[in-house]
Amino acid sequence: MDLQPSTYDATLDELAPPPYQTHRSISGDSMLKPLVAASIAAEEVPSAVLALVSNLVTLYPDSDSTFSSSMLESCAKACSEHGYSLSKLLQDTASESMAGHTPIYWAIVNRTPTSQDASIHKTGLPGLISALLSYTSPLTERTILDIRHGCLAASDQHVFQGLRLSPLFNPLSGPQAMLLGGAIPHDEITVKYPEDEGEFEVKFKIPHFHKRMRVVQHIALDLIAKGTNATAT
């Protein structure tokens, strides 16, 4: 297989702001409480939702799926009762509270790496990222690019591979869906870094390789290494 820079790189460069930086909430709230729809005026819902989500991704980036989902569910109910779309609010990069990115971007950038990260492709995405992905879907193309940008900024290959296994982020094409029964193949991509800072090693484990090549005739494996998004084909 040939390893080359991903075609997404040029598009990602167009998203602002590109430098890696940790965005922190200015509210200083130490307690995060679910929204109560009845106590919020309709016109205040967008700002209230984004303020809560901003605190969630900056102050609680390592929260589990139960806590994250409970917060986002309260946002979903508030939006529903007042005629707003939570999915659209979570993908509005023009919001000042999100500093030009989506909440998922900040959840990826702000999370704390753990010793369990190498198993993300088997155990599932971290709680907050998983919950945000669910409540943000369906994703726009720009949001998908912003999520990729977050993985690049954090050089987070493990989360990126977990995202590649999610149909919400990486839906199968028609022929692949028919061939694999709608299940995204668990292509295992392992990136290792030798002592030479300018090099990295990549190992692939591709299930149903021959069948996929005969029918689809193309397999693209995206990975992140050294802050670069590369594609092996």
pLDDT in tens, 116-138: 888 887 788 999 999 999 999 99
**pLDDT tens readout for residues 70-81:** 999 999 999 999
Which element (helix H / strand E) includes 91?
Answer: none
**pLDDT tens readout for residues 23-59:** 333 333 444 788 887 788 899 999 999 999 999 999 9
pLDDT of residue 4: 55
Q: Is the pLDDT of residue 186 over 70?
A: yes
pLDDT of residue 10: 40
203 three-state secondary structure:
strand
What average pLDDT does this structure show over 89-106? 93
Q: What percent of the chain lies above the pLDDT cut of 90?
A: 45
What span, in angstroms and rounded, lies between the C-alpha atoms of 134 and 67?
A: 14
Q: Is the pLDDT of residue 142 over 90?
A: yes
The ranges assigned to domains in the chain are 3-232
The torsion of the CA quartet 204, 205, 206, 209, rounded to 10 degrees, works out to 100
pLDDT of residue 35: 84
This prediction's pTM: 0.78
pLDDT of residue 21: 38
What span, in angstroms and rounded, lies between the C-alpha atoms of 39 and 63?
A: 25
Q: Of 151, 165, 173, 160, which is closest to residue 207 (Cα–Cα)?
A: 165
Q: Is the pLDDT of residue 22 over 50?
A: no
**Beta strand extents in 167-232 (DSSP E only):** 188-192, 201-205, 221-225, 228-232
**pLDDT tens readout for residues 204-231:** 788 777 787 888 787 777 878 766 777 7
What span, in angstroms and rounded, lies between the C-alpha atoms of 91 and 88?
A: 5
Report which residue type is found at 232.
A
Q: Is the pLDDT of residue 101 over 50?
A: yes
Give the model's confidence band at 20: pLDDT under 50 very low, under 70 low, under 90 confident, else very high.
Answer: very low
What average pLDDT does this structure show over 98-113? 96
Q: Is the pLDDT of residue 11 over 50?
A: no
Q: Of 212, 232, 213, 214, which is closest to residue 222 (Cα–Cα)?
A: 232
- Please name every residue paired with 231 in a beta bridge, in sequence order, or none if there are none: 4, 222
Contact 48, 32 (CB under 8 A): no
